[in-house]
Amino acid sequence: MLMIHTSPLEQPGTGDAGGMNVYVVESAKRMAAAGVKVDIFTRATSSTLPATVEIADGVEVHHLVAGPYQGLAKEDLPGQFCALSAALMREEALRTQGHYRLIHSHYWLSGQVGWVAAERWNVPLVHTMHTMAKVKNAALAEGDTPEPDGRAIGEEQVVAASDALIANTEAEAASLVGLYSADPQKVHVVSPGVDLEMFTPGNKKSARKVLGVREDAILLSFVGRIQPHKGPDTLIRAAAEMIKIEPNLRSRLEIAIVGGASGSTTEPSRLRELAAWLGINDMIRFVEPTDRSHLPEWYRASDIVVVPSHSESFGLVALEAQACGTPVVATAVGGLRTAIRDGISGLLVDGHDPKSWASVLYRLAIEDERRSELGRGALEHASHFGWQATAEKMLAVYDSLLSGSAEVRSFA
């Protein structure tokens, strides 16, 4: 597996680390448990990193030295494609010929390197986009920067070079075909999963005690990287509108923004300034990225988890929250339409108008029975998305390529 621009060892929720990191690690672990050894190659960002780190039986992370260790942003990495490809070739040359049966690249930067390696080693290339420039640019958030043309062109090249493309949802598959001219026969839909042993229902009172949240608070939580694309400002603006609907709500409403800056490091400051301008900074709690083992406490403590993304290939946070029995209110875009069953496990909102969001969140916040009903639906819905099923379906795609089968495999 290739994930060049972010390491599986990094803390999700900060920098460029997010759902893709979880996706790669969890699927690799399940594949290894099924007897398939997985080597994950990423770029070394420190001279102190060991060349190889084992993260599970049968799963190793290998660090490729390419360019300076620090100071390179994700946008700078295309200039290191040659160095990255050469470093990967050296790694493969140390192994017996035919050691790798298949390459699975994640995100377009990895796809560019995977394209070269797959042709050199004469093995199939499987690619997962995770996000796409053309989709993101069609739904830019205020203050967000459009993805450059170079990325869209690079993505088109990877799509054309890949032997199979893994899409998270049918909607993403349609985007690959419609926006990138992907061969429909090569597109396979495999839904991401959730760790159903880690993310489980728990005692809300106990979780709030651990996190320092008042027992009678109405807690709305955002979990993820703090960037315009993820829309945390929508939650803050909606909270201000909720107070207008019901001023007495102010004494109970708490908003938790759990995560770190991604891309622009000024975004958290911008959000704090927004909250102060709206006069609700006392209601907003910014929380540093937390270890995944502690995330269930935030989900359990929350009355509602809010996912106001402008586009989303899937939305693992939504699935994790639901696995903890917490309803989710999210934007009706992309993979969130699959991750959430509207009206059953959560609610979907069109657009990002703060008043619309405030109306939905306010009604759900004050209706305890409705939240409990959605919480039960959330738990049931999430139960169908274990990582084991994801890995099994992905391995089936690999098998079809390695056996030369032309069978179309689509797994919702």
Q: Give the residue-averaged pLDDT of 260-279.
A: 85
pLDDT tens-digit readout, 32-81: 999 999 999 999 988 898 999 999 999 999 999 998 888 788 888 999 99
Other Cβ atoms closer than 10 A to 130: 21
**Type and span of the H or E element at 75:** none
Q: Give the residue-averaged pLDDT of 252-267.
A: 83
* Three-class SS of 259-292: CCECCCCCHHHHHHHHHHHHCCHHHEEEECCCCH
Looking at residue 263, its pLDDT comes to 60
Closest CA to 64 of 50, 78, 54, 79: 50
Dist CA 240 CA 271 (whole Å): 13
Average confidence score pLDDT of the chain: 92
Q: Give the residue-averaged pLDDT of 359-384.
A: 97
Q: Which two tokens stand for residue 87?
A: 């470093």
Q: Give the residue-averaged pLDDT of 219-235.
A: 93
Q: What's the order of all strands across the beta sheet hosting 52-56? A: 38-43, 59-64, 52-56
pLDDT tens-digit readout, 142-172: 778 899 999 999 999 999 999 999 999 999 9
Dist CA 310 CA 136 (whole Å): 8
Dist CA 152 CA 157 (whole Å): 9
Q: Give the residue-averaged pLDDT of 241-269.
A: 88
Dist CA 377 CA 373 (whole Å): 6
Q: Cβ neighbours of residue 273 under 8 Å, at least 6 residues apart?
A: none
Q: Are strands 328-331 and 346-349 parallel, antiparallel or unpaired?
A: parallel
Measured on CA atoms in the order 34, 36, 39, 40, is the torsion positive or negative? negative
Angle (CA) 4-31-130 rounded to 5° is: 40
Ordered structural domains, the chain, with CATH: 19-193+387-402 (3.40.50.2000), 204-382 (3.40.50.2000)
Looking at residue 242, its pLDDT comes to 97
**pTM, full prediction:** 0.88
pLDDT tens-digit readout, 173-189: 999 999 999 999 999 99
Dist CA 9 CA 28 (whole Å): 13
266, pLDDT greater than 70: yes
Dist CA 171 CA 182 (whole Å): 13
256, pLDDT greater than 60: yes
**What secondary structure letter does DSSP report for 373?**
H
Q: Cβ neighbours of residue 82 under 8 Å, at least 6 residues apart?
A: none
Q: Give the residue-averaged pLDDT of 125-151.
A: 90
Q: In 270-393, at which residue ranges do the beta strands (DSSP E only) sit? A: 284-287, 304-307, 328-331, 346-349
- Give the percent of the chain with pLDDT over 70: 95
Q: Give the residue-averaged pLDDT of 181-203.
A: 95
Q: Are strands 52-56 and 59-64 parallel, antiparallel or unpaired?
A: antiparallel
Give SS3 for 342.
strand
Looking at residue 137, its pLDDT comes to 92
Closest CA to 372 of 406, 306, 316, 326: 326
Dist CA 66 CA 406 (whole Å): 37
Dist CA 57 CA 28 (whole Å): 10
406, pLDDT greater than 60: no
User: What torsion do the CA atoms of 249, 217, 258, 290 make, to the nearest 10 degrees?
Assistant: 180
Looking at residue 144, its pLDDT comes to 81
pLDDT-derived band of residue 31, with 50, 70 and 90 as boundaries? Answer: very high
Other Cβ atoms closer than 10 A to 95: 10
407, pLDDT greater than 50: no
Looking at residue 12, its pLDDT comes to 63
Measured on CA atoms in the order 97, 102, 106, 109, is the torsion positive or negative? positive
Looking at residue 238, its pLDDT comes to 97
Looking at residue 409, its pLDDT comes to 43
25, pLDDT greater than 60: yes
Dist CA 396 CA 409 (whole Å): 8
265, pLDDT greater than 90: no
Which residue type does 270 have? R
Q: Give the residue-averaged pLDDT of 5-17.
A: 73
Dist CA 81 CA 87 (whole Å): 10
pLDDT tens-digit readout, 295-326: 999 999 999 999 999 988 888 999 999 999 99
- Give the percent of the chain with pLDDT over 90: 79
